[in-house]
Structure 1
Amino acid sequence: MTISITPSAQQRMRQFLAQAPSAAGVRFGVKRTGCSGFAYVVDLAEQLGEDDQTFQIEGVPVIVDAKSLPLVEGTEIDFQRQGLNASFVFRNPNATGECGCGESFTVG
């Protein structure tokens, strides 16, 4: 697994985990939605599913389900602030297109 997390994303994820000490880790994956097909999901994982895999990335437990794994392989997760807005940003080499709003992507 080659997901990477920038220092700013690591810091944000650690803040989330500190507020929820019972969480198993940060869930990263995709769901079918949006105008392009898939949307990223970043959330706290309260429990592990049967098909989940856990990766320690820079000390952050990242949980990815088996269906999402091939779609997020190689993705870099960043966290950026622009004015009053703050969000995770994804650089996914598997994405062959993105919608205009940047909320969803397609794969080849």
Structure 2
Amino acid sequence: MRGLGELERAVMDVLWDGGGPMKVRDVLDRLDTGKALAYTTVMTVLDNLHRKEWVRRERTGKAYAYEPTVTRADASARALRQVLDESGDPEAVLLHFAQSATAHESAALRKGLRRTVAGG
């Protein structure tokens, strides 16, 4: 995701796949980054994600439990929006993307556009 570092993205993936609020230890136990991480490192990453408003936290006993504030799909859509905004030519980017889309992706786009037109 744009705006997140590599470890922040990995932590968000764990939270998105977690199915509910998770404590630092839960996240650390499920992280698979290929390197050993300290508890305090994961705690700092979660604190940074909270500051950036990617996660919310609630105290449970002596620790916080964290959960995402946005879905993975919403975060991906935000990243795509940022790419389009920064491209200088969003129409050309969209057209190039549409040419590379699979049949399934094209159908999903058509369905979404029909909803947008019908609702707006």
TM-score bucket of the superposed structures, by smaller chain: under 0.3
Structure whose alpha-carbon radius of gyration is higher: 2
TM-score for the superposition, normalised by structure 2: 0.22
TM-score for the superposition, normalised by structure 1: 0.23
Structure with the largest fraction of strand? 1
Structure with the largest fraction of helix? 2
